[in-house]
Chain A
Amino acid sequence: MLKINNLHVKLEAEDKAILKGVDLTIEPGTVHAIMGPNGSGKSTLSYVLSGRDGYVVTDGTATLEESDILDMEPEERAAAGLFLAFQYPVEIPGVGNMTFLRTAVNSQRKARGQDEMSAADFLKVIREKAKTLQIDADMLKRPVNVGFSGGEKKRNEILQMAMLEPKMCILDETDSGLDVDAMKLVSDGVNALRDAGRSFLVITHYQRLLDHIKPDVVHIMADGRIIKSGGPELALDVEQNGYADLLAEAEAQ
């Protein structure tokens, strides 16, 4: 599904390398988690993959189902099936959540050469999906993320994911700012989308989220590289012992 090869990235504004050779292969239908200390480059990886300005790829490749995504515009990557659930969803006053979602869904359909979804069909689908995420009609009508609580913003991200039906979902610290109940709700929303043709990359600081969204593979990222990969037990190890041993181990190599 997603194949990242020797990815090197620096900031555009200053000559500072953030990613220093990331290698990562995510098979269809699998869930990968990335953990790592602050400043290790986890969020940068999600931004670079989704096409945010301000980063320069100095080496390496990233392909989504064999297509090179690094040369694409952000909207082209989205249409190709990539989705990033933001750590800090952006507020857009004056644009209704529903209008925004319909514009997004139809833009992607158009880019893929499909017919636009009619207003009636769209309404039917969104109502159903919103219900399972406990998003009420008022939240759909309100301007995008304006006045939403932290939990509502994250649920709204998952609703977008559910509506856009991407192939490759990246969740950037979706658990930050969520209470226990909200985390369960969001995780249920994510789990409902798991299927053989869809992959997930879950970026998190805490093992707790991985109790709800069970990963197939866990990676530890430090200083712009993936230093260790393993099964779910790796996350438990980090939770108990912290990163110190892993970092020392990586240093020694």
Chain B
Amino acid sequence: MARAELTQDATEARIAALDLPKGGKWATSARNDALARFRAMGLPARRDEYWRYTRADALNQPTATEASLFDSRETMVFDKVDRLRIVFVDGVFDAAASDDLSLAGIEIERLATAAQADIHWAKDLYGVLETRGQTPVKRPFAALNSAFATDGVLIRVTGAAAKPVSLIYQRGSTQADAILHHVIKLEKGAEMTLLENGPAAARFNKVLEVDVADGARFHHIRAQGRDHERRAATHIFAQLGSESQFKSFTLTVNGILTRNEAVIEFTGDDAVAHVAGAAMGDGDFHHDDTVFVTHDAVNCESRQVYKKVLRNGAVGVFQGKILVKEGAQKTDGYQISQSLLLDGDSQFLAKPELEIYADDVACSHGSTSGAIDMDALYYLRSRGVPKKEATDLLVLSFLAEAVEEIEDEGLRDEIVGRLTGWLARRGG
């Protein structure tokens, strides 16, 4: 049997295991389109260029593999932050655990509710940014998500949001297969901070589409939950208007499989987009950051800063691209991906790409793998800092460039506090 037919069978089996949610006109149309897109591209396979380093098997199979719950006995990250809490348990909105969804400067609706309407503002964005992000690289799990997402939030930001909106993904079952889709529309000059945390589900598929209008500012800080056996495929699709700003940081600790894709497109001039990630894996850990930044406007600045700390056979993947289209002059593009390998068993696979069609641009990229700096370790120890603490300090030092991408000092301290705590509790 031809390979194509095998893939087709697998794709149909994946579709058959899910129910297309019922909804109003706009949502039904968006879902049908997405289903057609997904069918046309099919599930990813090893031969796909962007799936060479990450095996999609567990994401491809019709049902989620069981994943045991991880009880860390820690308070959750961002607990001290004044924020509007929206809680999902195994991918289902939990009204009782969530705050009231009203906040000055912002409108929040559940996708499950908004999808019942016949007309909604989200129709111009839902699945639309995702579709734009399917070229030139196909992202089948994002199309699958747009078709089958059962819930999520639709947020329209008209002014400055009074406080951060916090999406909390809790787990209750060992087998939940959650699909969430969020759309955020920041109108001209609007500003908001989105927080995300929690392990979400045994298998989690999430899409976040963000439209940042002229002069608007979007801040995103995410801490992916520590459940060792969970699997996740997430996508961020963002479109930036002129003089807008987009900043996204992701912290990942543990997780047998995480694929985080970020697809950013500059459509207006003088905009800024920074995407960053810090990941720490010990043992059965596979973490993949796949990033695609498209400059299609003048004088925009993009930064990709990804750092991974790997030990005991953990695997890190980075596939990052900067595409500068013809006419996107004065582009300032920067990309760095680095791994700190704490032993000889771990692996880092990186594929940095630059593709430039404009002649007046500054783009740089770097990718490195290295061990702990022995001179720095000796220096710290010679000052009386024991080996383990000294190593932890150097791990934090290594991650710093990514963590420093978090603008808000309080939120940055939250993340650093997490990292410090985890490192301290982990044995030698």
CB pair B381–A93 under 8 Å, yes or no, is: no
Q: B389 contacts which chain A residues (CB < 8 A)?
A: 103, 107
With A53-B374, A74-B378 as given contacts, are A92 and B384 in contact (CB-CB < 8 Å)? no
Q: How far is the CA of A35 from the CA of B360 in the complex (A)?
A: 56
CB pair B396–A95 under 8 Å, yes or no, is: yes
Q: A50 contacts which chain B residues (CB < 8 A)?
A: 382
Q: Name 30 A/B residue pairs within 8 A (Cβ), A-sorted.
A: A50-B382, A51-B378, A51-B382, A73-B381, A73-B386, A74-B381, A75-B382, A75-B385, A75-B386, A77-B382, A79-B384, A84-B382, A86-B382, A90-B376, A90-B379, A92-B393, A92-B394, A93-B397, A93-B400, A94-B396, A94-B400, A94-B403, A95-B394, A95-B397, A100-B380, A103-B385, A104-B380, A104-B383, A107-B389, A111-B386
Judge whether B120 is part of the interface by a CB distance below 8 angstroms: no
Q: How far is the CA of A211 from the CA of B387 in the complex (A)?
A: 38
Q: How far is the CA of A127 from the CA of B383 in the complex (A)?
A: 19
Closest chain-B Cβ to A5's Cβ sits at a distance in Å of 23
Judge whether B33 is part of the interface by a CB distance below 8 angstroms: no
Q: How far is the CA of A108 from the CA of B380 in the complex (A)?
A: 12
Closest chain-B Cβ to A73's Cβ sits at a distance in Å of 7
- Size of the chain B interface, CB-CB below 8 angstroms: 26
Judge whether B398 is part of the interface by a CB distance below 8 angstroms: yes
Closest chain-A Cβ to B137's Cβ sits at a distance in Å of 32
With A94-B397, A95-B396, A107-B386 as given contacts, are A78 and B379 in contact (CB-CB < 8 Å)? no
Judge whether B71 is part of the interface by a CB distance below 8 angstroms: no
CB pair B382–A164 under 8 Å, yes or no, is: no
CB pair B396–A104 under 8 Å, yes or no, is: no
CB pair A108–B397 under 8 Å, yes or no, is: no
Q: How far is the CA of A104 from the CA of B157 in the complex (A)?
A: 47
Q: A83 contacts which chain B residues (CB < 8 A)?
A: 382
CB pair A92–B387 under 8 Å, yes or no, is: no
Q: B379 contacts which chain A residues (CB < 8 A)?
A: 86, 89-90, 92
Binding site for B on A (CB under 8 A): 50-53, 73-75, 77-79, 83-84, 86, 89-95, 100, 103-105, 107-108, 111, 143, 160, 164
Closest chain-A Cβ to B373's Cβ sits at a distance in Å of 8
Judge whether B243 is part of the interface by a CB distance below 8 angstroms: no
CB pair A75–B384 under 8 Å, yes or no, is: yes
CB pair B378–A52 under 8 Å, yes or no, is: yes
Q: A94 contacts which chain B residues (CB < 8 A)?
A: 396-401, 403-404
Most buried by A among B380, B400, B401: B380
Q: B387 contacts which chain A residues (CB < 8 A)?
A: 73, 75
Most buried by A among B380, B383, B397, B404: B383
Q: How far is the CA of A105 from the CA of B383 in the complex (A)?
A: 8
Q: B380 contacts which chain A residues (CB < 8 A)?
A: 92, 100, 104
Q: How far is the CA of A111 from the CA of B389 in the complex (A)?
A: 13
B218-260, CB < 8 A from A = none
Query: Could you count the A-B residue pairs with CB atoms below 8 Å apart for me: how many are there?
Result: 84
Closest chain-A Cβ to B375's Cβ sits at a distance in Å of 5
Q: How far is the CA of A148 from the CA of B396 in the complex (A)?
A: 20
Q: How far is the CA of A124 from the CA of B401 in the complex (A)?
A: 30
Which residue of the partner chain A has the closest CB to B373? A90
Closest chain-B Cβ to A205's Cβ sits at a distance in Å of 22
Q: How far is the CA of A89 from the CA of B378 in the complex (A)?
A: 11
Q: B401 contacts which chain A residues (CB < 8 A)?
A: 93-94
Closest chain-B Cβ to A159's Cβ sits at a distance in Å of 12
With A90-B375, A90-B379, A93-B400 as given contacts, are A104 and B393 in contact (CB-CB < 8 Å)? no
Q: List 10 other contacts, CB 8 Å, given A86-B382, A104-B384.
A: A51-B381, A53-B378, A75-B381, A75-B384, A79-B384, A92-B394, A94-B403, A104-B380, A107-B384, A108-B384
Closest chain-A Cβ to B110's Cβ sits at a distance in Å of 40
Q: How far is the CA of A145 from the CA of B159 in the complex (A)?
A: 42
Closest chain-A Cβ to B13's Cβ sits at a distance in Å of 47
Q: How far is the CA of A93 from the CA of B386 in the complex (A)?
A: 19
CB pair B398–A74 under 8 Å, yes or no, is: no
Q: A107 contacts which chain B residues (CB < 8 A)?
A: 383-386, 389
Q: How far is the CA of A86 from the CA of B382 in the complex (A)?
A: 10
Q: A93 contacts which chain B residues (CB < 8 A)?
A: 397, 400-401
Closest chain-A Cβ to B399's Cβ sits at a distance in Å of 7
Closest chain-B Cβ to A20's Cβ sits at a distance in Å of 24
Per-residue A-contact encoding for B117-158, CB less than 8 Å = 1, 0 else: 000000000000000000000000000000000000000000
Q: B390 contacts which chain A residues (CB < 8 A)?
A: 75
Q: A75 contacts which chain B residues (CB < 8 A)?
A: 381-382, 384-387, 390
Q: B398 contacts which chain A residues (CB < 8 A)?
A: 94
Closest chain-B Cβ to A14's Cβ sits at a distance in Å of 18
CB pair A78–B376 under 8 Å, yes or no, is: no
CB pair B382–A92 under 8 Å, yes or no, is: no
Q: A164 contacts which chain B residues (CB < 8 A)?
A: 383-384
CB pair B382–A103 under 8 Å, yes or no, is: no
With A90-B375, A93-B400, A94-B398 as given contacts, are A78 and B393 in contact (CB-CB < 8 Å)? no
